[in-house]
Structure 1
């Protein structure tokens, strides 16, 4: 058993970030009867671990993000007969947006979407690399990656969507330029095509095709407004193969045709201040 106290970290400068990547057997245990002076965040990659705080023991498994608040007496480790594979980071909250930090002493969030799991994992990889390299702006880079993880947790709490629909929306945005097939999306999120279509409509109020077209048109409008792309180029950039279809969808979501939209933008630019 490792008996660890917050004083072990007191020598670190205010705002320091330290991180690690552990794969521990069931002999691993950390006890802090007085809590810590900083936050602890862990992300379980595999196996099983436990956290005990305020008289309650909770298990963590792959996809679980855990946050321990400063000053919380606790213990954590690997359950008997198990192994625990996880990444972790200690950080002080003074440099972090207060609204992103939980109020509870111990917070455990299960991340079900594969895309979000991958983003969190890669954020931790950046934290590990930057905190060890200590190159220029290493601290700011670590905080940026930590903030990304916390914002992903906050997004999950506030969206209200089924995790599989969140995953589908991410895949639509990621594959915007491609020909998107509902069957492939359904396979990616572990549903049948009919079940995904029903659940998507129930959660978002629109069909998968409508959501994709809305994303594409909003992106096309941004390209027309802020780049030198013309309407034909913008249509191709966002995945429309048929320009007439693009025009119809543009009018549906923006209220005017692409040419009318571009003309209104040029008029605004030429208008004297």
Structure 2
């Protein structure tokens, strides 16, 4: 359940422009996860025949429709309706996304209305670690289920078709979970975050590996450390440094699955000075050591 191989590129010197309107077919369920380089771009002037769900897990991207443009950062979820122009790409050095093309179940329309940022494009920014972690986990599961749904028959065709249908339904359950988390977040957030909290949240989510301290972040927000800590905990639901560590660990999990960097290299790349401390924190978050986690991601059938 992946798009053509030339869909993914991480060469910063090459601009990728895909011009098509029939891929994927409207009825086909397609999911994916990719890291794109600095000049990645996709253009589909007529859109596609399916709904498109796009979540930013790292870096920065941009979605443009006509003269309107929307910058996408960590925690941003976009839902694009069929036939809506696709023109999106990386901003800066990289952009990491989870995505899915799908057709919704009929009963979803009773609750899945999300605020429109542009005609044909709905947008939600998720800020709570409990929500962003859940979305990444849901996308990872639904992507694995989508891959299972595309397995070739192994003997018993009838049994294969049953397994395939179950995998498709599990994939749809994952997409439904993503949308429900977004809808629940909107219902709960009756007011926007304090601008000072939002400023700090944007700073740590855009660059979690940076040596953030409470003093530096309080200076950025121009409030005292104690006042910032209180506001942040009250509105985000977690402490600032807990959010920073969570973001670093999430990025580490992505690097472990997508690169051949050593555990020590990954630790340093995401902002941990001590590999041992990193491994302890990683084990608490993911229930496995970094090395075991890498093996489970790369060889799911052997774990």
Quote how far apart the aligned CAs of 1:32 are. Answer: 0.8
Aligned to 2:202: none
SS in 1 for 2:96: strand
Aligned to 2:139: 124
Q: What whole-Å deviation, never above 9, does each CA across 1:91-145 have from its counterpart, x for those lacking one?
A: 1135561131447311221110001111100100011100001144011111111
SS in 1 for 2:98: strand
Looking at structure 2, the residues matched to 197 and 26 of structure 1 have their Cα atoms a distance apart, in angstroms, of 32
**Contact (CA 8 Å) 2:24, 2:101: kept in 1 or not?**
no
- What TM-score do you get using the length of structure 1 for normalisation? 0.56
Aligned to 1:263: none
Aligned to 2:152: none
**Contact (CA 8 Å) 1:54, 1:74: kept in 2 or not?**
no
**Residues 96-115 of structure 1 mapped to structure 2, 5 A cutoff:** 97-98=108-109, 99-102=111-114, 104=116, 105-115=120-130
**Contact (CA 8 Å) 1:43, 1:88: kept in 2 or not?**
yes
Larger Rg: 1
Give the CA RMSD over aligned residues.
3.0
Aligned to 1:59: 71
Q: What whole-Å deviation, never above 9, does each CA across 1:144-181 have from its counterpart, x for those lacking one?
A: 111111111111111235689xxxxxxxxxxxxxxxxx
Aligned to 1:151: 180
Looking at structure 1, the residues matched to 18 and 127 of structure 2 have their Cα atoms a distance apart, in angstroms, of 33
Of 219, 226, 230, 1:195 maps to: 230
Aligned to 1:41: 53
Aligned to 2:94: 83
Name structure 2 gaps, 5 residues minimum: 1-15, 150-162, 194-224, 236-303
Aligned to 1:237: none
Q: How many equivalent pairs are there?
A: 172
- 1:92 partnered with 2:103: yes
Looking at structure 2, the residues matched to 60 and 120 of structure 1 have their Cα atoms a distance apart, in angstroms, of 16
Runs (4+) of structure 1 exceeding 3 A deviation are 101-104, 160-164, 190-200
Quote how far apart the aligned CAs of 1:199 are. Answer: 4.9
**Residues 1-273 of structure 1 mapped to structure 2, 5 A cutoff:** 1-10=16-25, 14=27, 16-79=28-91, 81-95=92-106, 97-98=108-109, 99-102=111-114, 104=116, 105-134=120-149, 135-136=163-164, 137-160=166-189, 195=230, 199=234
- What TM-score do you get using the length of structure 2 for normalisation? 0.51
Are residues 8 and 199 of structure 1, via their aligned partners in 2, closer, same or farther at CA, if it must alter by over 3 Å? closer
Are residues 115 and 191 of structure 1, via their aligned partners in 2, closer, same or farther at CA, if it must alter by over 3 Å? farther
Quote how far apart the aligned CAs of 1:198 are. Answer: 10
Quote how far apart the aligned CAs of 1:88 are. Answer: 0.8
Looking at structure 2, the residues matched to 109 and 54 of structure 1 have their Cα atoms a distance apart, in angstroms, of 20
